[in-house]
A and B are shown apart, each in its own frame.
Chain A
C-alpha cells in the first residue's frame, strides 16, 4: 500500500458496515468496532503496515455497564497511530486474544485480566503478574474502593485483630493548671 489514503479507502470498502474509521487529531485515528470483528480487522491492519502494537488498555464505563478495550497501533510506514476500540459487556467480560498476532499482547492481556477481570480465551498465561494473593475485586474497576480496601486490609478494626499490648492511658490531671 502506497499511502494512508489508500489504506483508508481499502478499509472502508472492506469493513464499511462493521467498523468506523475516524480521524481524532493530527496523526491519530481511531477505529471503533465490535468483538466479533476484532481479530479479523487487527490482522488486516497488521498485514497492512500497522506492525507496532504499543499497548492494550481497558476503560471501565461502569454507567454503561461496559468495558472498553483499546488497542494502540502505530504504522512506521504511514507515520499514523490508530486507537482500535471495542466495547464488551461488563457482566461477562471476555475478548479473543491478540497473542497470536503480537507476542507482547500476552502480557498486556494478563495485566488487564488482573486489574479488570476481563478474560482472554486462548491466552496461554492469565496468572497473577503484579498482585499476589489478591482476593478482592480487580482493583482498577470503578466499583473497587481503595480507601475501604485499605481500612479492611490494614487497620486493626478491619482485620478484627486485638492488639497484644494495649497501653493503659491515664487521663492527665489538669485541675491545678500549669505549674510555674
Chain B
C-alpha cells in the first residue's frame, strides 16, 4: 500500500495538518481496559479531544432476569454484577429483602457478613493496586498482589465452597457457619498481608515513576466529586470524610470502630494512596470483628427459601464496597419473585459521566491509569 511521507495507516494525517482528528478504540481488546467495555477516543495526535463511552458489550440483562427468578435464586446471579468484589452485592440485596420483610439477621450472622465483606474488600483492593501497577507497566506488582489475593480466595473456598463467587449470604443470615479453625486462618492471613505492605510500598507507593505519573493526574475537587456521584475511596481521596459503614452502619459495623481517614489532594496519586489506607484499615477491622464475634445462630429460620414470599414494599439498601456505595433498590409486590431490582453501581458516574470531563486533554497513555485509580469496573455499569 502506497503512503506518502509522514502518513501512517493509523493517523491518516500529514505531519503538519494538526486539525485532523481520528477515532481510537480504547477497549474492549486493550490490556489497560478492565472488562468488556470501551471508550472511543477522538484523538489529535496523542491527545484526546472527545470521548464516547462504548458500553453494552457486557450487558446481560441482570435486572430483567431477576424479575423472572425467585428471591433466593437471584443470589446466584447478583455476585456477577461485580467480579472482583462480589459480596457487597449479596449483602445489599439480602439487606433490602430483610428490610422489606421487617426482619434482621442474627448478631453472629451480621459479624460473619462483615468479616466476609472486609475480606472481599481486601481482595478487591489488591486487584486495584495491582491494576495501577499494571497500567504503569510494573507487572511484578500485579503478580505479587494476585498471589496475596489467591490466599484470600483459598479462605473463601473453605468457607463458602466458591473462590470468586461465593453465594454465601441469604435473606436472614448466611448459608453456613464458619468452619472450625477458619477464624485463626483469617487472623494468620491478615498478619501475613500486613507484613507484605512494606514490600508493596517499595514497589508502588515509594516508586518515583508511579509518583511522576500519578501526581496531578485528573484532579477531582470535593464539590465536584459529591455532585458527580463519586463515592467511597475516590470521594475520601478528595477530602470528604464519608463512608457507608460509618454514616449508615449495617451488618456489625455499628458495634465496631471504623476509622476513616482521607488522603486528600483529589488527584490520581491521592486515590491510589487512599486505597492503601483503606486496605490497612480493613485489616484492622477484621481483627476487631474476629475478637468480638459472638456465639449464636448464623441464620433465621425462614422455612424453605425457594418458597419465600416477601410482602409488598420497597427498600434501598447500600453497602460500602471497595469502590464505594453499592446499592440495591428492591421492589416487591408480595410475590415469590422480585417485582423490580435496580442496581446502583459505584462505577457508573465515573465511567460514563466523569469521563467526558476528565479525558479530553489527557494523553492516551494516562487513560488506563485514570481508569485504574478511579476503580472503574464495567460489570456494574453493564448489569
Contacts and interface: CB of A to CB of B under 8 A. Distances in A.
Interface string B319-353: 00000010101010000000110101000110011
Contact of B315 (A28, A54, A60, A129): A28
A59 B325 contact: no
Given A76-B247, A79-B248, A132-B56, A54 B227 contact: no
Interface in A18-72: 24-28, 51-55, 57-60, 70, 72
Interface stretch (B16-24, B57-65, B211-219): B57-65
B340 A59 contact: yes
B55 interface: yes
Given A76-B226, A102-B229, A81 B316 contact: yes
Interface stretch (A9-17, A103-111, A160-168, A171-179): A103-111
B105 interface: no
Contacts of B113: none
A71 B151 CA distance: 40
A103 B227 contact: yes
Contact of A146 (B56, B61, B231, B248): B61
Nearest to A134: B56
A26 B226 contact: no
A154 interface: no
A54 B318 contact: yes
B240 interface: yes
A117 interface: no
What secondary structure prevails in chain A residues at the interface with B? mixed
Contact of A129 (B55, B63, B327, B340): B55
A106 B227 CA distance: 13
B331 A107 contact: no
B364 interface: no
B342 A139 contact: no
A59 B382 contact: no
A79 B344 CA distance: 18
A60 B348 CA distance: 22
Contacts of B247: 76, 79
Given A72-B329, A103-B227, A55 B344 contact: yes
A28 B318 CA distance: 11
Contacts of A60: 340
A126 interface: no
A53 B229 contact: yes
B228 interface: yes
A103 B228 contact: yes
B61 A54 contact: no
Contact of B316 (A52, A53, A83, A107): A83
B99 interface: yes
Task: Choose among A81, A104, A139, A144 the residue with the greatest number of B CB atoms under 10 Å from its CB.
Answer: A104
A57 B342 contact: yes
Interface string B76-92: 00000000000000000
B242 interface: yes
Interface string B34-75: 000000000000000000010110010101110010000000
B344 A54 contact: yes
Contacts of B342: 55, 57-59, 70
A88 interface: no
Given A28-B316, A79-B247, A81-B248, A146 B229 contact: no
A132 B38 CA distance: 14
A31 B225 CA distance: 25
A59 B352 contact: no
Task: Choose among B63, B247, B315, B348 the residue with the greatest number of A CB atoms under 10 Å from its CB.
Answer: B247
A54 B339 contact: no
Contacts of B353: 103-104, 106-107
Task: Choose among A51, A55, A79, A81 the residue with the greatest number of B CB atoms under 10 Å from its CB.
Answer: A55
A59 B331 contact: yes
A107 B64 contact: no
Contact of A54 (B56, B240, B325): B325
Interface of A: 24-28, 51-55, 57-60, 70, 72, 76, 79, 81, 83, 102-104, 106-108, 129-132, 139-140, 144, 146
7 contacts: A25-B315, A28-B316, A54-B344, A55-B329, A83-B314, A103-B227, A107-B353
Given A79-B247, A107-B348, 11 more contacts: A51-B227, A55-B342, A59-B314, A59-B331, A72-B327, A79-B248, A81-B316, A102-B227, A104-B353, A107-B349, A140-B64
Interface of B: 53, 55-56, 59, 61, 63-65, 68, 99, 226-229, 231, 240, 242, 247-248, 314-316, 318, 325, 327, 329, 331, 339-340, 342, 344, 348-349, 352-354, 382
What 7 pairs between A and B have smallest CB-CB spacing? A130-B56, A57-B342, A55-B344, A104-B353, A104-B349, A104-B229, A107-B352
